[in-house]
């Protein structure tokens, strides 16, 4: 056989390998699961395929997914923030207080986002400035931030937000496409570019894989992590604006338990809980999956507590299954 004919036969092999890898990638598998769940929901209830029902389904996950995008970067860097739902409560409380003093819609939005930034910076300062474990710090601030909300509000609620404020959580850009959904898609594109196509994103992966090596390579590890905590706080503040607008009220119990669903989205999306691995596209698809699952169960009148149990079991399963598979492979190889 001539050299030319050998080269010709080798070309398909070089193309098959990346194609095979792409088909077996985690985001591709998640996309298959999402399609399956969409079909399953459409068969389970005749109301699911209504355009307005599908639009309502997006409200079920977009606010949490916005936080998940920033949380993904934080977890890839090797840290975590369990205080995001409490940040939402505090940001909503600050907006409610500002409302009592006659602050209008632009001011309310600015206060909500700024409160999230301050909370994120506070977390980041404790972790990067004092060297404290992020899981311990954010468990503490989770109680601290929500405790402030309970002290301010007690069992009361702030209501009476202006009509213009309602657009952020209830408005539509066009037909059934909500402002929240458009904002989520725009944020997903931004975070995809930030993580996968910038030097900052490469630094995040570098830190998550080996922060010591990253530090010796000139990466300002603490500064990068501090910015990621701030970014997570900002996204929590944005989620607070959207959720408060959608509910048209502020309560100290707002967004309770959301940190579990946010982390589930991130880990289900293929982000390694120990850091160093993950993709934004996986997180985006995982957000749709979580929305399809929870909204589908709600349409079937499944109680909220059962849905919470399912989400918790899903998170445990996502973390446990790879470990079990790895141990089985290790035993087989011996």
Task: Examine residue 21 and state whether it is found in any structural domain, yes or no.
Answer: no
CATH code for the domain of 221: 1.10.3470.10
Range of 108's domain?
A: 57-333
Task: Examine residue 1 and state whether it is found in any structural domain, yes or no.
Answer: no
CA 215 to CA 244: how far, in whole Å?
41
Task: Examine residue 222 and state whether it is found in any structural domain, yes or no.
Answer: yes
Could you report the per-residue pLDDT of 132-185, keeping only the tens digit for each? 999 999 999 999 999 999 999 888 888 889 999 999 999 999 888 999 999 999
Which pLDDT does position 112 carry in this prediction? 97
Which pLDDT does position 8 carry in this prediction? 40
Contacts with 114 (C-beta within 8 Å, 6 or more apart), sequence order: 237
Q: Judge whether 27 and 281 are in contact, CB under 8 Å.
A: yes
Task: Examine residue 242 and state whether it is found in any structural domain, yes or no.
Answer: yes
Which pLDDT does position 12 carry in this prediction? 39
Q: How many CB atoms lie within 10 A of CB 14?
A: 8
CA 108 to CA 165: how far, in whole Å?
8
Which pLDDT does position 318 carry in this prediction? 73
Could you report the per-residue pLDDT of 40-78, keeping only the tens digit for each? 888 877 778 888 888 888 888 999 999 999 999 999 999
pTM for this prediction: 0.88
Which pLDDT does position 16 carry in this prediction? 42
Number of domains in the chain: 1
CA-nearest of 70, 66, 74 to 274 is 74
Which pLDDT does position 59 carry in this prediction? 86
Task: Examine residue 141 and state whether it is found in any structural domain, yes or no.
Answer: yes
Task: Examine residue 194 and state whether it is found in any structural domain, yes or no.
Answer: yes
Q: Judge whether 169 and 180 are in contact, CB under 8 Å.
A: yes
Report strand pairing: 172-174 vs 177-178.
antiparallel
CA 271 to CA 325: how far, in whole Å?
17
| CA within 13 Å, CB half, 254 | 36
DSSP 178: E
Which pLDDT does position 14 carry in this prediction? 37
Task: Examine residue 162 and state whether it is found in any structural domain, yes or no.
Answer: yes
Which pLDDT does position 322 carry in this prediction? 67
Task: Examine residue 325 and state whether it is found in any structural domain, yes or no.
Answer: yes
Residue 105's DSSP bridge partners are none
The list of the chain residues with pLDDT below 70 reads 1-24, 321-322, 325-326, 334
Which pLDDT does position 17 carry in this prediction? 46
């Amino acid at each position: 056989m001539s050299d030319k004919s050998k080269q010709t036969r080798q070309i398909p092999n070089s193309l098959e390998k990346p194609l095979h890898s792409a088909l077996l990638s985690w985001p591709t598998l998640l996309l298959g699961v999402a399609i399956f769940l969409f079909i399953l929901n459409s068969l389970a209830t005749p109301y699911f395929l209504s355009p307005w029902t599908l639009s309502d389904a997006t409200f079920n996950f977009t606010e949490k997914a916005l936080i998940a995008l920033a949380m993904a970067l934080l977890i890839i860097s090797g840290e975590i923030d369990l205080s995001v739902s409490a940040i939402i409560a505090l940001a909503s409380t600050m907006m409610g207080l500002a409302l009592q003093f006659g602050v209008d819609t632009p001011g309310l939005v600015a206060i909500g986002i700024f409160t999230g930034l301050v909370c994120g910076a506070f977390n980041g300062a404790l972790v990067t400035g004092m060297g404290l474990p992020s899981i311990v710090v954010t468990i503490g601030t989770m109680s601290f931030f929500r405790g402030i909300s309970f002290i301010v509000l007690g069992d009361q609620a702030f209501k009476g937000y202006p009509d213009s404020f309602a657009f952020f959580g209830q408005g539509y850009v066009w037909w059934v496409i909500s402002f929240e959904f458009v904002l989520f898609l725009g944020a997903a594109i931004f975070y995809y570019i930030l993580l996968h196509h910038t030097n900052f994103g490469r630094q995040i992966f570098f830190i998550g894989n080996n922060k010591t090596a990253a530090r010796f390579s000139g990466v300002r590890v603490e500064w990068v992590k501090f910015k990621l905590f701030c970014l997570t706080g900002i996204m929590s503040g944005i989620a607070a604006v959207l959720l408060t607008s959608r509910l048209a009220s502020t309560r100290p119990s707002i967004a309770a338990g959301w940190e579990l669903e946010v982390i589930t989205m991130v880990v289900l999306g293929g982000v390694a809980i120990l850091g160093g691995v993950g993709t934004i596209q996986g997180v985006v698809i995982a957000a749709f999956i979580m929305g399809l699952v929870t909204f589908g169960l709600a349409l079937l009148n499944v109680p909220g507590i059962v849905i919470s149990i399912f989400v918790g079991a899903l998170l445990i399963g996502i973390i446990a299954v790879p470990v079990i598979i790895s141990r089985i492979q290790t035993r087989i190889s011996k």
